[in-house]
Structure formats: structure tokens, C-alpha cells
Amino acid sequence: MPGPLFGAAGALGALAAVLSLRERTVPPTINLDDQDPRIGLDIVTGRPRGGPYTAALANAFGFDGHNTCLVLPP
């Protein structure tokens, strides 16, 4: 995990999404030890998961409410 990237955080998130699409793999969520089974979400933990993914979503949240979402097609 990189440290604070400030302005580069959104670009790194978009790059990770592009690489995930290219490799057809979803990286795991880090630091998730106990998941509440009542929530019912399929969260990738441990090892990356492959699949036939057709799009990716990259979110970036900045200071003063500057937020953006980038939808990446295959």
C-alpha cells in the first residue's frame, strides 16, 4: 500500500482499474479480517479473483468535496 499520494491517488486508482481489466482479475481488499455474514457482499479477500469482467469503476475523493468516478470499458 502506498502512502499519501494526494493528487496522484486518482491516477493510481485508475491505473489499477485498467490493469485489473487487462488481466481480468480483481485484487483483494486488504486488512479485512472479519466480515459480517449478514451483510451478504461478495468481497474479494486473500488472493486475487479472475473472471469475465466487462467494466471497472475507479473512484477518487479529494479535499473540499472534489469527487469523481471513472467508468472504464474493456
Domains delineated in the chain: 6-72 (3.40.47.10)
Secondary structure (3-state) at 17: helix
| pLDDT for the residue numbered 62 | 83
Average pLDDT, the chain: 89
Instruction: Evaluate whether 17 touches 58 at the Cβ level (below 8 Å).
Output: yes
Please report which helix (H) or strand (E) contains residue 61, including its range.
Answer: strand 56-61
Which tens digit of pLDDT belongs to each residue from 48-58? 999 888 899 99
Nearest alpha-carbon partner for 11 in 64, 62, 74, 65? 62
- pLDDT per position as a tens digit, 6-25: 888 889 999 999 999 999 99
Amino acid, res. 56: A
